[in-house]
Amino acid sequence: MTRQEAEQRIAALSAEIHRHEYAYYVLDNPTISDYEFDQLMGELKRLEAEFPDLRRPDSPTQRVGGRVSSDFAKVPHNPPMLSLDNAFGADDLRDFDRRARSLVDDEPVEYVCELKIDGLSISLRYEDGIFVQGATRGDGETGEDVTENLRTIGSLPLRLEPADGRLPARMIVRGEIYMEKKVLEDLNRELEAQGKPLLQNPRNAAAGGLRQKDPRKTRERRLDSFIYNLVEAEGFPVAKHTESLDLMQRFRFKVNEHRFLARSIDEVIAWTEEWREKRYDLPYEIDGLVIKVNDLAQRARMGFTAKFPRWAVAYKFPAEEKETVVEGITLEVGRTGAVTPAAELRPVRIAGTTVKRATLHNEDNIRTKDVRIGDTVIVRKAGEIIPEVVRVVPEKRPADAVPWEYPRVCPVCGEELVREEGEAAIRCVNPLCPAQQYRAILHFASRDAMNIEGLGEALVQLFLEEELITDAADLYTLRERRGALVEIDRMGEKSVDNLLAAIDATRQNLIHRLVYALGIRHVGERAAKLLADHFGSVEALETAKPDEIQAIAGIGPKIAESVVEYFASPRSHDLLRKLRAAGVNMVGEKKAAPTEGPLTGKTVVVTGTLTRWGRKEIEELIERLGGKSSGSVSKKTSFVLAGEAAGSKLDKARDLGVPVLSEDDFANQFGPF
């Protein structure tokens, strides 16, 4: 094939593949089979390999993922990507309407109602119809360049389709990157099978996927997009927001079909009521609705506050509450022995899922709310995630319903339950309780503890049932029982060898992981690190006195008492003896706490997603520099370190006048590290 023929064929293949991608990713109406699509893509790759100088920047092959990034460059937003003020009901919407109309001398105002997609905001720039740059929202003023990762998202056009036979010389649009609920379920099934931590929700999964250093990892997340705002399109003037949405569709952006033009605020309110239930039928999550003034000239007259546009508002749905019946109350034993009650419910649909069980928290909560078996109760999802009983409907209580009495013995092992003075939790104090062992082993193997990849709930349960292990230390003896493991259903030689290798790899973990993995009450990851750094070995920690432990900055009397109590237990002695015999590392480097540093006396709150450090890394760095890391913003906060998608903590800091630093600000002021 001549160079000229190759150039013509590459152009034709690119155009054809772009059409098929639009049909598949945007219209959800594929026009050819996957096999035929792969054939076209394969031919294009071969031609580009043979004639590399003919590969175009908008080639469909560039979706596979370009360079692996070691960092994300900063991209300024002009105009800024502001957040929206919130409305929580009809009264708030009417107030918004009154304010909006007053700013345009009570002219009639139309509103465009759209879904508020629960994802990650992005800004895209095109030049002569070619995608050249994409950035996250960041702090609204400056975002991160994630161009290569965005190229992997099939619904984002790499090359625009001409409108009226023309393309803008420059175009900027904004939208949302999201993950469908079914994609999250599929990915979590794959992760669970591999024994890896699950993705928590679609929004976090999308945000994490878009900020991967390797674009190939982003592609694995199967992300999608909706574009909702036209910032600039040279040569294509529009007067109304509805016109801009139509124009973006003509350029082949994926624009959400669920939008409504309201002629009055009454029509807006009716639309919000309509979506209160319909939202659960969507294949993706929304965290509200967005109401925008349609006329762009009116928007210009309305202007902005310091934080929000005056011409738009985000409507938040009220927490959904449903009535159902308590059919029973059951108990679950946790790894520290805490016995938590739950209400077994007559199935009821709340926030898009069927709820059969709701937490009752503890004995005091049951007594305060007077929850009884047979009661009709109001149930909601706390944060739209965890079902909880809100209150009882006393007028519907059956005549024979009696107060529920908390059992005095463990439902699993039958040992006496204990409630310590000053605590709400009731505990099983039997260290041999099977329920505690199961959860203790899961905790030991978890990512932030010893991090044994491939060891999930099902395998731990199976190993306990088969009597292959009785505690976490026995995991290190499984190699001696490889033959028995291979015989277990669904394991297989490769899976067994991978698991054994993963277990072996943890023998040389740093000791703060082991201290956390032991599951000592009140000792979280941060406390485990402080203890490991101070004492330098598990042996020194074992023999430490309460006042020695409490002398460590950041360790209080409750933790000190709990540590001493743990190491006084014969069961703990036995576990540690077995771990030592298995060759698990018990010694680290004793580190003196920093007495002085650039952050000495400062309290820092970290919010949002950072690019240079993980959350644990930045908290450890703050402590090394002499500062204290806090989880809440107050007037005593020295400054807030804000990353991508910083939320309410950032808003509170601004309201209180607390200084806000970007990652660059932090590095420039307190580095080098």
Output the CATH code of domain 511-581: 1.10.150.20
Separation of alpha carbons 428 and 443, rounded Å: 18
Overall fold of domain 3-64: Helix Hairpins (1.10.287)
Output the CATH code of domain 321-418: 2.40.50.140
Closest CA to 54 of 100, 106, 115, 13: 13
Q: Give the Å distances, CA to CA, from 593 to 189, 537, 552.
A: 43, 16, 8
> Among the options 45, 116, 529, 628, which is catalytic?
116
Structure tokens at 20: 């098929």
Return the CATH class of domain 434-508.
mainly alpha
Q: Say what the pTM is.
A: 0.55
pLDDT at 525: 83
- Burial class of residue 397 (count of CB atoms within 10 Å of its CB; 0-12, 13-18, 19+): middle
Overall fold of domain 86-315: D-amino Acid Aminotransferase; Chain A, domain 1 (3.30.470)
Taking the chain (673 residues) in consecutive chunks of 10 residues, what is each chunk's mean pLDDT?
82 81 66 72 79 76 54 82 87 94 93 94 93 87 88 91 89 94 87 70 83 84 94 93 95 94 96 89 91 95 85 87 92 85 90 84 90 93 74 93 91 87 80 84 90 87 88 94 81 86 93 93 85 92 91 80 90 92 88 68 83 72 81 86 76 87 83 66
Q: How is the chain split into domains, by residue range?
A: 3-64, 86-315, 321-418, 434-508, 511-581, 603-670
pLDDT at 66: 46
Domains 3-64 and 434-508 share a fold: no
Output the CATH code of domain 603-670: 3.40.50.10190
Contact predicate 633/652, CB 8 Å:
yes
Structure tokens at 422: 């000053």
Which stretches within 382-446 are classed as H helix?
434-445
The verdict on whether 116 is a catalytic residue reads yes
Show the CA angle centred on residue 411, arms to residues 410 and 412, nearest 5°: 90
Closest CA to 248 of 227, 264, 269, 277: 227
Full DSSP string of 477-537: GGGGGHHHHHHSTTTHHHHHHHHHHHHHHGGG--HHHHHHHTT-TT--HHHHHHHHHHH-B
Full DSSP string of 294-330: SBHHHHHHH-B-SSSBTTEEEEPPPPPEEEEEEEEEE
Full DSSP string of 571-635: HHHHHHHHHHHTT---B----PPPS--TTTT-EEEEESB-SS--HHHHHHHHHHTT-EEESS--T
